[in-house]
A and B are shown apart, each in its own frame.
Chain A
Amino acid sequence: MDQAAVTALLQTLVQGLLTGGLYALIGTGLSLIFGVMNIINFAHGDFLAIGMFITLALFRTFHLDPYLSLLVAAPAGFALGFVIQRLVLSRLGDRLNEGSILATLGLGLIISNTLLLTFGAQPQSINVPYATSTFQLGGVQVSIPLLIAGLGTVAAIVGLNLLLYRTELGRAIRATAQNPLGAELQGVKTGHIQAIVFGLGVAFAAIAGVLLMPLLYAFPTVGENYTTKAFIVTVLGGLGNLPGAVVGGLVLGVIESLGAFYISNNYRDAYGLIAFLLVLLLRPEGLFGRTVKRV
């Protein structure tokens, strides 16, 4: 391989890792929710869309820098998730397992159609001066927004870990995940904890949406694709396993990028699904299932 080809490959790897970081962020939210509440949130990608449209609206109205939108989108996402768990999911009672599928699918439809009514169907993007700025690292061009997205992912995941392992709330969350009844008997208000967890998961999706906005365009159904990605990431890493979700995200990002680079662009989504099927066949518990303790 000549120099140019090596650089191109390295660049693809770096971009694949950074994109994978975003997948990890989305997957972490989904995995957290599954780990504690034992449900799959099928509206996860739609919460990401909400994050994107909040950024878009703030930029259009106040010319707010997209990254500053995090200050709005993350709390808004948390509040939304908290309220939804309280008003919808907590009422499913014994039928949480089956009911949550329909409930979250329905929520997703409501969200995407509300976005459609409010913002219209056409794809919309924002143009910030630094959207295409890059820096060189030994011939490899690294996109600054993509790097910020990667760093944002690291910060969010480190923050989540600090919360889970260094605080009383984190202890309560982990207790709820391990044994809800036991936790309840120890005085943990598990309903409250579940609402917080759902809020955190939604906030993670919204943060990912904000970080994506300078790189990508928003349209009401943008989330669909990301729900699938988050699901693949979560299964790759092991359901409910947070470090697994991070590794799963990175693996998916790199597999997709290398596949598109070496084989063909057109089967991009297939590479992830093939990896997904292989993991299900060979290690149904996920890459990290059971080898690392569940949250």
Chain B
Amino acid sequence: MFRFTPSSLTPSKSTPSSPRQSRSRRGRTLAALALLATGSLALADTIQVGAITSLSGRFATFGRMQQAGFRVALDEINARGGVNGNRLELLLEDDASDTNKALNAAERLVNRKVPVVIGAYSSGITKPLSQYLARVKVPLIVATAIDETITKPGNPYTFRVNNQSSVYTRSLIDQLRKLGGMKTAVILTSNDAFGKSVLNDAASLLPRAGFTVLAQDTYDKGLTDFRPLLNRYRGQNPDVVILASYEEDAVALTKQVKEVGLSPKVIAGIATGFALPDFLKGAGTAAENYLVTMVWNPDVQYPGARSLYTRLKKALNGEEPSQHAAQSYAAMLAAADAIQRGGTDPEKVRAALMQTRLSTAFGPVNFRTYGGYQNQNSVVGLITQVQNGQFVTVGPATAARGKIVFPRK
């Protein structure tokens, strides 16, 4: 078990926790002093929150992002006086990218009487986790997983900060329709809960937007040679290629798309692997002008977003943060806020979560029940485009910071 102890949050080292405090050096010192005072005197007790993510195994990169998000949120919460005068502490469990280990971890956390659990990273792990925690009546805040079925029909104990997958695909397809002049599409996703969810959404939403779906395929984990499939697509000459993959698959796919000479007008990646800074590094110029849907990018216009970006980057030792870090940050704030209002009884925390009205640097957090989804937060789906090796938000119009390059070069 990993544990962020008060010593790991030494005030002198911690970053200024709100943009206001960072204004001047003196302000920073004052804040640190105040923190020292509150840290040693006022924050007498600790409240422990549980979290489960993949610190090892195939989702380790995402786990690292989640950990950074948790850490930044904890620093911020404790710097402003904790929760009802108590220091917030995190019991962080590693699920090693494995469902059974996640369930064991959840059991350990429940035995330690945590009022709420945050996690896990991937959809395939989060779904059974949400069912287990509903059975033992402990609320779960899902920060990152996007499989539709986690909140539809969902259960009263599962709350999701991230959008469900259909929002990602819908915002993309809206954008495609606006661009116009395109008629055909192919969809290729990973063969798991996340990928299948995206595949189903895209396959049903595309025809309604006037597209003919020429092919829809999934690939198994570990497949590294996508060439035959991409060759087939090349023969079909689609206008749009929609991809959904984890991490390095996204890089391998992107390289091979270029290699086989598949050149549609738009290539889009649905969040996840494509939304990682590592994707930009790994795929290099082959990724140029890819559209990537996400809910958070450092250039979003929520107040405090820039400061959040800086703090996340610092928590990652200079590595670029992804949306997964920001989502995890927001999930931790939501947990603290619910404990603040409801206390440490899981049932009361659950009731408090239902009343959550937060606006954070990640965006609004507000769990609603609508359209068959239960306790689902709704965030604006951003369309970013890789331009000169950076994600630039190009849609929707209200959030855009740059102009879309279309058709891709």
Contact = CB atoms under 8 A, between A and B. Distances in A.
B224 A216 contact: yes
Given A11-B234, A15-B227, A131 B60 contact: no
B135 to A, nearest CB: 31
B248 interface: yes
A270 B129 CA distance: 32
Contact of B234 (A8, A123, A217, A225): A8
Interface residues of A, number: 39
A150 to B, nearest CB: 14
B56 A4 contact: no
Nearest to A6: B235
Interface in A126-180: 127, 129, 131-132, 134, 141, 143, 146
Given A8-B234, A120-B60, A261-B229, A266 B191 contact: yes
B228 interface: yes
Interface string B272-314: 0000000001111110000000000000000000000000000
Q: Interface centre among A129, A217, A265, A266, by most B CB within 10 Å?
A: A265
B60 to A, nearest CB: 5
Contact of A122 (B61, B217, B283): B61
Nearest to A18: B227
Contacts of A15: 227-228, 231, 260
Interface residues of B, number: 39
B247 A122 contact: yes
Q: Interface centre among B58, B191, B219, B261, by most A CB within 10 Å?
A: B261
B232 interface: yes
Contacts of B227: 11-12, 15, 19, 257
B56 A121 contact: yes
A2 to B, nearest CB: 8
A268 interface: yes
Contacts of A8: 231-232, 234-235
A217 B247 CA distance: 11
Interface string B187-229: 0000100000000000000000000000001111011111111
Contact residues of B: prevailing secondary structure:
helix
A33 B191 CA distance: 37
12 contacts: A7-B235, A8-B234, A11-B234, A15-B260, A122-B247, A127-B282, A132-B284, A141-B259, A260-B228, A266-B191, A266-B218, A266-B220
Interface of B: 56-58, 60-61, 191, 217-220, 222-229, 231-232, 234-237, 247-248, 251-252, 255, 258-261, 281-286
Interface of A: 4-5, 7-9, 11-12, 15-16, 19, 120-125, 127, 129, 131-132, 134, 141, 143, 146, 215-217, 219, 225, 256-261, 264-266, 268
Given A146-B259, A266-B220, 11 more contacts: A9-B231, A11-B231, A19-B225, A123-B248, A132-B255, A132-B258, A225-B222, A258-B228, A265-B219, A266-B218, A266-B219
